[in-house]
Amino acid sequence: MFYILLLVLKVYCIYHAFKNNKPFYWYLIIFIIPIIGPLLYIITQVYNRNDTQKIQEEITTVLNPTKRIKDLEAKLKFTDTYANRIDLADAYYANKDFEKAVVNYNITLEDTVQDALYARQKLILSHFQLGNYADVITQAEFIKDKNEFKGSKQQFCYGLALNELGKVNEAEAQLKQIDRPYSNYVERLELAKFYVQNDKTSEGKALLNEISIESKSLTQPNRKLYGATIVEVERMLASIK
C-alpha cells in the first residue's frame, strides 16, 4: 500500500511539474529522492492552505480523468456559465477528446462579454490535432496580431496548417518566428524539414547545423530531454548532400 501511495505521489508531482513548466531539475529530485523529493516538491511548488482542494482534484485527474469530466459535465448542467464551460472544454482537451473540446470552446465564443483569446488559442491547438487545417487558419486570423500569438505554439501550428494547404510562403513567414537560438528544438527541427521539403535545402542544412552545434553545450538533463530531436537532427544532416 505504501508503494502505491508513493507511486501516486510521484505521478502527481510529474504531472504538476509538466503542466506548470517547472525546471527539469525538479524531475530529477522527484525521481532520485524517493520520499523526500516528492514531498519537497509539494511543499515548495504546490501547497498552500488554499490549494488543498485543487491538489485533490488534480490527483483525481491524473488517476481517473473521466471522473473529472463527468463531474464537470454535471456541474455545467446545473450551472451553465462561461467558467464551467471552459473548465469542461479544458478537461476534454487534456483527455485528448479534441472534438468535444472544440464543441465547448466554440460555445464559449457566443459569450461576447468574455475575452475570446484563450478559447481561440485552444481551438487552434484542438483543430490542429484533428487535422482541421482550414479551421486552424480561421481561428489564427482572429488573434494573429496579439502579442500572445508571437512565437507561440499557436503560431507554429498556424504555419504548419498554411503549409498543409499549399500556402508555402505564408507558412515560412510564420514558422520562422519560432527560430530562436538555444530553444524550440522540436519546432526548429520541423522548420528544417519544411525547408528541405520545399527545395530550400541550404537553409534547412544551416538550421540543422545550428541545432547540432547548440546541442553540444546543452546540460546533461536537457540533452536527455531533447535526445530524440538531436538524434533526428544528426540523421538528417547525414542524409543531406
Q: Is the pLDDT of residue 58 over 70?
A: no
Across 45-59, 71-85, 133-147, 170-184, least confident range: 45-59
DSSP labels for 19-56? HTT--THHHHHHHHSTTHHHHHHIIIII--TT-HHHHH
Residue-wise pLDDT for 126-169, tens only, equals 999 999 999 999 999 999 999 999 999 999 999 999 999 999 99
Q: Is the pLDDT of residue 35 over 80?
A: no
The rounded percent of the chain whose pLDDT value lies above 70 is 88
Mean pLDDT of the chain: 86
Closest CA to 16 of 47, 4, 6: 47
Mean pLDDT along residues 34-63: 63
Predicted pLDDT of residue 192: 94
Mean pLDDT along residues 26-32: 77
pTM of the model: 0.72
**Residue, of 24 and 152, whose pLDDT is higher:** 152
Asked if 89 and 105 touch (Cβ cutoff 8 Å), the reply is yes
Predicted pLDDT of residue 83: 93
Mean pLDDT along residues 199-220: 91
Q: Is the pLDDT of residue 107 over 90?
A: yes
Asked if 204 and 188 touch (Cβ cutoff 8 Å), the reply is no
Q: Is the pLDDT of residue 123 over 50?
A: yes
Predicted pLDDT of residue 85: 95
Residue burial 14-34, b: 16+ Cβ < 10 Å; e: rest: bebbeeeebeeebbebbeeee
Q: How confident is the model at residue 59 (pLDDT cuts 50, 70, 90)?
A: low
Predicted pLDDT of residue 49: 43
In the three-class reduction of DSSP (H, G, I as helix; E, B as strand; rest coil), residue 219 is classed as coil
